[in-house]
Structure 1
C-alpha cells in the first residue's frame, strides 16, 4: 500500500524541481483520503500552505455550474433543447441563424460556435453577468451550434445567466443552495471579500531574477464566476469529488444518481487531448482507465487539476500557485495512477502525415485574447501563442513555442507524442479553423 510519506516525498521533490512555491495534492482512494501539502502560499508573507489554504480552482468551476443546470433540467425548470433566445429575450449573436439554433445543450457541451474567450467586464454588482452577455452580438461566429466542440468560457457564462433567470437568484446564491451547502463545502467561495480574511494562496509569476513574485492583483471579475470564479480548499474539492465519484453528500444530493452518471457520458466527440464532452465534464482516458476530468488556469498563476476515475474508485485534485503547476499536476496524476492502481499512461507511436499536410495549417489563428502564429519548420509546425497586449500587461507570462507534428489521423502531437490538437476536415471548417488547446480558432 502506498503511504502518505511516499506522496509527500514526491510532492516536495517535484514542486522544488518545477519551482512551484506551494501546492496541494488530495486523493480519494476508495474509502480513504490522502492529502499532502508543500511550500508556501505567498512568497511575500512566507505563509505555509496548509489543508485550509484556499486556491482559485479556475475552470473546474464550470462543473459546478453544469451541476446546477442539470438539477434545473432534472426538476423540469429548464430543458436541454430550450432556445437561449427564448430564455434570454434580449440575447443576441452576430449570426441570426446561430441565435435561432442555440440551445441549452450547446452551452453545456462547448458547442455554441461563437468566440469562446470573450472579454470580462469589471465590477462586482449583481448585474455583472447580464451586462456581459448583452455584448455577445459583437462576438464572431466560428461555426454553427452543435457542429463541433470548442472550449467556451463565453458559453458557460451564458449558462450562468440562464441559471439566474430561471431561479430568480444571483448565480452564486443558486450554486450555493444547490451544490455548495448540500455537499458541506464550507470553505468554497466566489467573492474576494469572503476569501481575504481566510488563509489563501496567491498566484506567482517569475521575476527578473527568476524567483517567484506574487501577482499583486485579484485576477477575477464577477462575470466570469460561472466559468472560473470558485475559490476552494482541498478538503472541499475532495467533498465535491466524492459526490461526483461515489454519490456521497452531507445533505440532499445536488442531482440524482441517474443525472450524475448522465453528466459523465459522452455527448459530443471532441479532439485531443480529450475524447468527448459530457455535461460539461471533459472525458478522456489515462491508459486503459476512463477518466472524467477538468482543471483550471487563472492567468497562468494558479493552476489546478481535477480527475475522477469512476471505474477505479479514484479521484485526484492538484492545487498550485504558479505556472509550473501545469507540469506538476500532470506528474501528480501520473504518479497517483501508477502508485495507487498500477496504471501507466500510454501514448501511441505517431504515424506521421505526409509533409504536404502541414502546409495547409500555416498562418495566424485568432482566439480573441490571443493568437497563434503557425509556421512550417521541416517536418513539424512551430506554434507560438501571442497574448493580446492588454492581457500580457496583466502579468500573464508568455508561453514557450510549441513544436508539433501532424499524425496521419490529423492529430497535432508534441515530440513525446502527446496529442494537443487536430487539423479539422473541410466539413468541420478546416483549414480556416484549427483545433488547438481544445478550441477551434479561426485563421486571420
Structure 2
C-alpha cells in the first residue's frame, strides 16, 4: 500500500503557509482510496475538516452535467450533433446564424463562440435557469460556433436548460436521479439549505492579517449546471472511480466514458485538448484527464484522473490559495505515486511590444495589459462590491518566435497566447482557456 504520510505532512505545512484554513484530499491508487484532511471548515466557527465535509466543487460540476447529457445521448433522447434549437425552439443568440448552427457538441467542448462569463441571477426559483437563457440574445458572439475553444460557463448553463426540457423536470432532480443516486454520492447537494444542516466548509478571503470568512454562498440557481455542486471528498472519490471504470455501467457505459475522455478539440495552453468536457493534459508521458473549480476565489478544487494508470487525486479547499495547494498535492502524487516527474524547461523569451498593450474584455472582468506585458485583472465594480475576490497582477512574457505568453518570473510553460484577426492585428488575449476580446 502506498505510503501517504509524506503527503499528509506536505498538506499540513503548505495549507498553513498558503493561508488555506481547511482542505480535504482524496487519492485513488492501486485500487485503494485514501482520504487526507487538514485544518478547519471556518476560522469563525472552527470545526475540523473530515472526509465527509462538504465543499463547493465549482466547475468540476460541468463534468457531472456532461455525464447527464451523455446518459441522454446513449438513450437516444439527445443527439450529440443535434442543434440546440431542436430542443429549445425559441432559443436566440445575438447572431442568428450562430443560434441556428449551435449544437450540443459545441457546448460540451467550449466552442459555442458567445461570451462565456455572464452575470448571475439572484433567484432560487425553478424558473431561474429558463429566465437566464432568455437573455442570451444580448451576449456578444465572439466567433462562429466551432471556430475556437474559449472556456464557456454560459454554455453549460444552456446545457442545464436543455436537460430540464428534455427530461421535463428540474436540472438538479435529473442529476440526483441519473448520477448521484446510482453512484452512491449521498453527500453531494446543490442547495445551500441542504448543506446548512451538514458539516460544510465556508469560503475565505485572504487578507494581510490572514483568512477571513466571506459571508456569501457565491452562487444562485441559474449557475447550478456550470458549477453548483457541493460534495465531500469521499463522494468525489466515488465519482472518480466511476469515470475510471471501477463501478459499473451506470450512468453511462465504458465506451461513452472513453468518448468523454478523448480529445475532441485541440487547444493550446493551459491544456493540450478538450474532451466532453474534460480538460486534457500530459505530464512526463502520463495522460491526464482533469477539471477543477473556483467559486468566487473563495472555494477552489482540483480533480485529476490518469485513466491508463487507474489513478485519481482531488483536492477541495476553502480559500483562493487552494489552487496552489491543489497543484502541489497533484504534483507530489504524480511524482511519487506514478513516477511522472516533468523535466525542468526554460522557454526562450523575446522583448515585449507595444502592439499587445490594451484592454481585453472577458465579460465579468477585463485584462488591462500594459506595454511591459503585465496583465491587471479588473473586476466589474458591481462584482467587486458583491465580494467577489479579484486576482493579483500577472507579469507575462512573450515566447520567442510566437504570440504565446508565459509567466515572466517562471517561464517554464506557455500559459496563453495573443490571437490575431484576418488583418494580422492583435484581437484577443487567450488566457486561462478564455478568449478575451480586445476593446482598446
Same fold by TM (over 0.5)? yes
Alignment equivalent of 1:359, drawn from 350, 354, 358: 354
Look up the match of 1:376: 371
Distance 2:175 2:422 in 1: 38
Look up the match of 1:164: 164
Moved over 4 A (4+): 427-430
Note the C-alpha offset of 1:351: 2.7
1:341 is the counterpart of 2:338: yes
1:321 is the counterpart of 2:318: yes
Look up the match of 1:299: 296
TM-score (norm 1): 0.95
* Conserved? CA contact 2:19–2:206, under 8 Å: no
* Conserved? CA contact 2:203–2:214, under 8 Å: yes
Alignment equivalent of 1:410, drawn from 400, 403, 407: 403
Note the C-alpha offset of 1:390: 1.1
Distance 1:419 1:137 in 2: 34
* Conserved? CA contact 1:286–1:346, under 8 Å: no
Look up the match of 1:389: 381
Distance 2:396 2:190 in 1: 37
Note the C-alpha offset of 1:425: 4.3
* Conserved? CA contact 1:2–1:339, under 8 Å: no
Alignment equivalent of 1:423, drawn from 397, 401, 418: 418
* Conserved? CA contact 2:39–2:49, under 8 Å: yes
Note the C-alpha offset of 1:345: 2.9
Distance 2:116 2:168 in 1: 26
* Conserved? CA contact 1:179–1:254, under 8 Å: yes
Distance 1:362 1:124 in 2: 41
Distance 1:336 1:138 in 2: 44
Note the C-alpha offset of 1:399: 1.3
User: SS state of the match for residue 262, structure 2?
Assistant: coil
* Conserved? CA contact 2:161–2:171, under 8 Å: yes
TM-score (norm 2): 0.96
Distance 1:264 1:429 in 2: 35
User: SS state of the match for residue 432, structure 1?
Assistant: strand
* Conserved? CA contact 1:83–1:101, under 8 Å: yes
* Conserved? CA contact 2:26–2:313, under 8 Å: yes
Distance 1:230 1:8 in 2: 26
Note the C-alpha offset of 1:246: 2.5
- Counterparts in 2 of 1:346 and 1:128: CA distance versus 1, 3 Å: farther
Q: Deviations over 1:293-346 (max 9, x none)?
A: 000000101000000011222100000000110110111100111111221134
Distance 2:64 2:300 in 1: 17
Pairwise mapping of residues 16-415 of structure 1 onto structure 2 (< 5 A)? 16-207=16-207, 209-249=208-248, 253-346=250-343, 348-352=345-349, 354-355=350-351, 358-377=353-372, 381-407=373-399, 408-414=401-407, 415=409
Q: Alignment length, in residue pairs?
A: 436
Q: Deviations over 1:140-170 (max 9, x none)?
A: 1100000010000000100110011111111
1:441 is the counterpart of 2:440: no
Distance 1:429 1:31 in 2: 52
